[in-house]
Amino acid sequence: KAGVTQTPRYLIKTRGQQVTLSCSPISGHRSVSWYQQTPGQGLQFLFEYFSETQRNKGNFPGRFSGRQFSNSRSEMNVSTLELGDSALYLCASSLAPGQGNSPLHFGNGTRLTVT
Amino acid sequence: AQSVTQLGSHVSVSEGALVLLRCNYSSSVPPYLFWYVQYPNQGLQLLLKYTTGATLVKGINGFEAEFKKSETSFHLTKPSAHMSDAAEYFCAVTANSGNTPLVFGKGTRLSVIA
């Protein structure tokens, strides 16, 4: 079974631009979560989607948004990029929300560099 | 709310020595606890998890962890380190209700010396 696929793997953008990251979950997984990973802050939760609905949202500004499609694929968008948005963005999928019986499976991430 | 503290951002052990990575959590409700490992340029891989039942849980690659409620700890151990264990390890917690996202510690980088 294919794992979580994130595209692209690397992105370089300029301040002020916007970016869209894509995540394809494991087949049959309906829950998708996004995390931002930086050396200083570690892993910080962005949002979680299940059945096209946002279930939880982390403490990030409104420039960060996401959505989930009917096939469970998810995208996240960052508008008006800032230097501090440079990070590894990780997508994770699970069968359903709640990690007790359905732990998160992570993709390899998208490395975003803002110059 | 939940939080995780991992003691030691970097741990170095000799090959064949005991690996001990420390994790303490804070949770106002019964927790689910996890250890993940991250190799360079990769995502996170689940090592093991505690939900309910036996407090000593075994995971992949010879790792195990013990849930100690009285100490609010979930330390990760492996009897004998291997060079391939060099990676970053993350402890994580969520509420057992399943309605809260996974909260991660800052991570511990494990180095294994030949």
Pairs of residues, one from chain A and one from chain B, whose beta carbons lie less than 8 Å apart: 60
**Residues in chain A closer than 8 A to B49 (CB atoms):** 99, 103
What residue ranges of chain A have pLDDT lower than 70?
A: 1, 99-101
Which helix (H) or strand (E) segment holds residue A66: the answer is strand A64-68
**Residues in chain A closer than 8 A to B98 (CB atoms):** 97-100
The CA distance from B6 to the nearest CA of chain A, in Å, is 12
Number of H helices, E strands in chain B: 0, 11
Asked if residue B14 lies in contact with residue B81, where contact means CB atoms within 8 angstroms, the answer is: yes
Give pLDDT, residue A42. 92
Average confidence score pLDDT of chain B: 94
Nearest by CB to A108, from B36, B43, B106: name it: B43
What is the Cα–Cα distance from A46 to A58, expressed in whole angstroms? 5
**Residues in chain B closer than 8 A to A30 (CB atoms):** none
Which tokens hold the place of A91? 């997508």
Asked if A100 lies within 8 A of B98 by C-beta distance, the reply is: yes
What is the Cα–Cα distance from A84 to A111, expressed in whole angstroms? 13
Q: How far is CA B11 from CA A15, A81, A104, B14, B112, in A?
A: 37, 35, 26, 10, 9
**Residues in chain B closer than 8 A to A56 (CB atoms):** 99-101
**Residues B41-92: tens digit of each pLDDT:** 889 999 999 988 899 999 999 999 999 999 999 999 999 999 999 999 999 9
Asked if A109 lies within 8 A of B43 by C-beta distance, the reply is: yes
Give pLDDT, residue B30. 87
Query: Is the pLDDT confidence value at B104 over 90?
Result: yes
Which tokens hold the place of B50? 């505690």
Give residue ranges of A with CB < 8 Å to any B CB.
4, 33, 35, 42-43, 45, 48, 55-56, 58, 90, 92, 97-101, 103-109
Give pLDDT, residue B100. 82
CA of B32: which chain A residue's CA is closest? A100
Nearest by CB to A98, from B42, B46, B98: name it: B98
Give residue ranges of B with CB < 8 Å to any A CB.
32, 34, 36, 41-46, 49, 51-52, 90, 94, 96-107
Give pLDDT, residue B85. 97
